[in-house]
Amino acid sequence: MLWQLELARFGVLLVISRIRALWLDERQMRKVMRDLCRRELKRHNVQLLVHGKPVRGFLAANHTSYLDGVVSVALFPAGFIGKIEVRDYPLIGPLAASLGMLWVRREEQSSRDAAKAALNVRDATAEPLWIYPEGKTTTFGTLGKFKMGVFKAAEASGHVVQPLAMCYNDRYIDWTGSKSVLLGIRTFYSTQRPLKVRCFWLKPFHVAPGEAHATAERLNRTLRAYVERFEVQGL
């Protein structure tokens, strides 16, 4: 019963945060959610082991778990690009919107084109944005093929890409396959095993003209090496 109580307590915190979002702007809400995420991770024995420091720009990370969003906000409060289905999640959707989400309907080409256009003109230095280039969660210890949106946007705008490798030490956090976000949250609260997340801020880079695909492939190889080293072989 303890996990149900903890989940209810977290729900109350989300409601309070949603109310605060009625009068706070995006930057203020990002700080509110950063502090909330940090407290929740600490409360539930999730230890962040952080290497390096970030710069402002397009923040590109690998994606294994729905917990990635909580870790991302705890590390660097910024906007996100995400699937439009999240907008309809109770509480989570409105709170995500308050952080400055760029929504995309993946199955519609027009929506993907609109998201790409928005990325191309975004001032990522003034308004950093989290992007998971795989476009979906992938299995623990693996890395999927990257979509080109962030790399094309960095090429067009000249803004820097700041990579982050997130590596978990426990496979239970893998919420791919048939698991929904709500089932993933339940799994997290009911399992309650101490968890370590090793986070590597890698060297930021610019994308030279005509080099978007080659740059994406290089970063994919680099992040895959971190995931294989620190998830498959262990932290």
Contact 69, 119 (CB under 8 A): no
Supply the pTM of this predicted model.
0.89
Contact 19, 95 (CB under 8 A): no
Distance CA 233, CA 111 (A): 39
What is each CA distance from 113 to 71, 77, 105, 145, 219, in whole angstroms? Answer: 28, 26, 10, 19, 23
**Per-residue pLDDT reduced to its tens digit, 23-75:** 888 888 889 989 999 999 998 899 999 999 999 999 999 999 889 999 999 99
**Per-residue pLDDT reduced to its tens digit, 119-159:** 888 888 888 999 999 988 899 999 999 999 999 999 999 99
Residue 80, helix vs strand vs coil = strand
pLDDT of residue 68: 93
pLDDT at 179 over 70: no
Distance CA 45, CA 130 (A): 24
Average pLDDT over residues 4-23: 80
pLDDT at 233 over 90: no
Residue spans of the domains in the chain: they are 2-232
Q: Which CATH number fits domain 2-232: 3.40.50, 3.40.1130, 1.10.10, 3.30.390?
A: 3.40.1130
